[in-house]
């Protein structure tokens, strides 16, 4: 068992649970435990979808400022790539990853949510990238994932001002996908994740690879990559099962083969 981040598995769903009271501040240890949990979730064939959850009160209120305050350029230039790659490990989980956001998702907490595929949040949640108010900028993906999600102009406005947005605005600008009552966030995320438990795991992984990789290349390169992934799925048992089931007008029984 890790001290602050653990992977819980049940019924085909993995829950990466942050637990560092009171605000789940993302210090170095939390970052490394998060990386380990993400790698384990990706490798575990019993997991078909992942939920990232910080508990009923808070998702994650950001990096541990006290830990960073005394760091100089030399120290942070060594640490910054590790910080970014820890969050990237979550983004690279080859399964649907759902952020279940309660309370605050600020700074590194918002960046962790951005590393997920789908974001559900409580109706009283607050999100934002307030790093500019500390004289720094987001350093774990905020300047890169946020503009890709909500557009560069709106991302710049949020990053430049450091202001928080409430759940309604977050949904309106596309920062979160669904807003639910505060007490129902985890259950809503789990219900969403259940959709993928009986799904075609290889096709889901390929779909995620196609979208994520395609965003970083030109259209022609992305289309060529999509074609390769598409064709490769015809070597899987699930593709045969899915199309056979369609022809036979029955529900497919995907096995991950």
User: What pLDDT sits at residue 91?
Assistant: 97
User: What pLDDT sits at residue 69?
Assistant: 87
DSSP E strand boundaries for 26-114: 49-53, 97-101, 104-106
pLDDT tens digits, residue range 157-194? 999 999 999 999 999 999 999 999 999 999 999 999 99
Give the model's confidence band at 70: pLDDT under 50 very low, under 70 low, under 90 confident, else very high.
confident
User: What pLDDT sits at residue 172?
Assistant: 98
Distance CA 182, CA 166 (A): 13
CATH architecture for segment(s) 5-197: Alpha-Beta Complex (3.90)
Domain boundaries, the chain: 5-197, 201-247
Contact 111, 148 (CB under 8 A): no
Residue 63: pLDDT over 90: no
Token pair in block for residue 85: 């790659």
**List of long-range contacts for 147-156, beta carbons under 8 Å, 24+ apart:** 148/215, 149/114, 149/174, 149/175, 150/174, 150/175
**CATH class of residue range 201-247:** mainly alpha
Residues in contact with 218: Cβ distance below 8 Å, sequence separation at least 6, in sequence order: none
Q: What are the residue numbers of the active site?
A: 111, 131
Say what percent of the chain tops pLDDT 90.
92
1 SS3 class: coil
CA 110-54-113 angle, 5° bins: 25
Between residues 68 and 40, the one the model is more confident about:
40
Give the model's confidence band at 66: pLDDT under 50 very low, under 70 low, under 90 confident, else very high.
confident
Average pLDDT of the residues in 34-39: 98
Radius of gyration of the chain (CA): 19
pLDDT tens digits, residue range 105-156? 999 999 999 999 999 999 999 999 999 999 999 999 999 999 999 999 999 9
């Amino acid at each position: 068992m890790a001290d602050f981040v653990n992977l819980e598995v049940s019924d085909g769903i993995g829950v990466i649970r942050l637990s560092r009271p009171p605000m789940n501040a993302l210090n170095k240890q939390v970052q490394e435990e998060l990386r380990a949990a993400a790698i384990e979730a990706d490798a575990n064939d019993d997991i078909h979808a992942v939920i990232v959850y910080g508990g009923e009160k808070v998702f994650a209120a950001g990096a541990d400022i006290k830990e960073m305050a005394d760091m100089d350029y030399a120290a942070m230039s060594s640490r910054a790539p590790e910080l970014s790659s820890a969050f990237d490990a979550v983004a690279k989980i080859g399964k649907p990853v759902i952020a279940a956001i309660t309370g605050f998702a600020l700074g590194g907490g918002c960046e962790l949510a951005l590393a997920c595929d789908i974001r559900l949040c409580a109706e009283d949640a607050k999100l934002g990238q307030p790093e500019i108010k500390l004289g720094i900028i987001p350093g774990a993906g905020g300047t890169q994932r946020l503009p890709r999600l909500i557009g560069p102009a709106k991302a710049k406005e949020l990053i430049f001002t450091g202001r928080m947005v409430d759940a309604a605005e977050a949904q309106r600008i596309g920062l979160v996908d669904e807003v639910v009552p505060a007490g129902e966030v985890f259950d809503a995320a789990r219900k969403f994740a259940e959709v993928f438990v009986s799904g075609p795991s290889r096709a889901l992984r390929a779909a995620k690879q196609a979208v994520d990789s395609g965003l970083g290349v030109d259209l022609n390169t992305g289309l060529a990559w999509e074609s390769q992934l598409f064709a490769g799925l015809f070597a899987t048992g699930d593709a045969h099962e899915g199309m056979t089931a369609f022809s036979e007008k029955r529900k497919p029984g995907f096995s991950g083969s």
